[in-house]
């Protein structure tokens, strides 16, 4: 199966009025797997956009992210606020499927500017909460005697550690496999140690302590958010 040809056929049949359409995601890279899907961003002149739909197309699982120009801006802003540039990446790290040259260029330029600007800076309250949350998880991990609970707490420590490292680096965040990919991009050495630490509370605690040392160490007592 050819993902680009099949995605273009989907656009031709279902979205003939598309002003721009892009195919992104792992299906275009060496990370493609047997379960990779077609991640397609479509820009329409107006209704029925915006909406998102999951479907099967020519044997592919396909995710369509259908927007108009206004909804694109809203999603660029919301993705930036949560520090996960999903839509911008799908518009830039992609293959053009269809559309008008002017609109395609405008959308790609706007998405590129979102990525170049980077995520918003970390506020003092956000940093305190991140340190507090990871400290609390480390306390739970060290005190856990139940194997099942230890595994769950450990995964939460892994996630919180990776996110704190990315926040401190001023780097974009990610979820699931993208959290590891973002960490590999920002700090390859730490990403390697974190991968090796999966399932090992001692190694994982060491990684978490290392990241916490970059921002003042553990923090629990004395947390205060808000108030006068």
Q: Tens of pLDDT along 65-114?
A: 999 999 999 999 999 999 999 999 999 999 999 999 999 999 999 999 99
Read off φ and ψ for residue 29, nearest 5 degrees: -120, 180
DSSP 200-215: -HHHHHHHHHHHHHTT
What is the pairing mode between strands 60-67 and 38-43? parallel
Contact assessment for residue 19 and residue 103, using Cβ atoms and an 8 Å cutoff: yes
Alpha helices in 82-146 (DSSP H): 86-92, 101-117, 124-143
Name which residue leads in pLDDT, 36 or 98. 98
Of 28, 94, 27, which is closest to residue 60 (Cα–Cα)? 27
Quickly state the pLDDT bin for 26 (edges 50, 70, 90).
confident
From the CB of residue 80, how many other CB atoms can be counted at a distance below 10 Å?
19
30 pLDDT band, cuts 50/70/90, is: confident
Above 90 in pLDDT, residue 158? yes
Q: For 5, left (φ over 0), alpha (ψ -120 to 50), or beta?
A: alpha
**How many Cβ atoms are within 10 Å of 50's Cβ, its own excluded?**
18
Reading the block at residue 89, the tokens are 């990446």
CATH topology of domain 3-117: Beta Polymerase; domain 2 (3.30.460)
The CATH 3.30.460.10 domain(s) of the chain lie at: 3-117
pTM higher than 0.95 for the full model?
no
**Residues 76, 114: contact at Cβ < 8 Å?**
yes
- pLDDT above 70 (res 228): no
Strand order across the beta sheet in which 20-24 lies = 51-57, 60-67, 38-43, 20-24, 94-99
The pLDDT assigned to 105 comes to: 98
């Amino acid at each position: 199966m050819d993902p680009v040809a099949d995605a273009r056929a989907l656009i031709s049949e279902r979205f003939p009025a598309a002003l721009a359409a892009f195919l992104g995601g792992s299906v275009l890279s060496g990370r493609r797997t047997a379960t990779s899907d077609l991640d397609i961003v479509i820009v329409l002149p107006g209704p029925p956009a915006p909406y998102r739909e999951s479907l099967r197309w020519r044997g592919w699982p396909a995710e369509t992210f259908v927007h108009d120009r206004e909804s694109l801006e809203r999603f660029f802003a919301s993705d930036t606020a949560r520090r996960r540039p999903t839509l911008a990446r799908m518009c830039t790290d992609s293959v053009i499927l269809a559309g008008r040259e002017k609109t395609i260029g405008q959308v790609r330029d706007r998405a590129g500017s979102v990525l170049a600007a980077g995520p918003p800076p970390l506020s003092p309250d956000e940093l305190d909460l991140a340190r507090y949350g990871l400290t609390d998880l480390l306390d739970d991990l060290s005190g856990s005697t139940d194997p099942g609970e230890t595994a769950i707490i450990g995964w939460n420590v892994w996630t919180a550690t990776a996110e704190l490292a990315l926040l401190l680096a001023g780097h974009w965040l990610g979820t699931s496999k993208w959290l590891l990919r973002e960490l590999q991009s920002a700090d390859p050495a730490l990403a390697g140690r974190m991968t090796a630490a999966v399932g090992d509370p001692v190694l994982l605690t060491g990684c978490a302590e290392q990241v916490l040392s970059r921002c003042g160490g553990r923090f629990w007592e004395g947390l205060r958010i808000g108030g006068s």
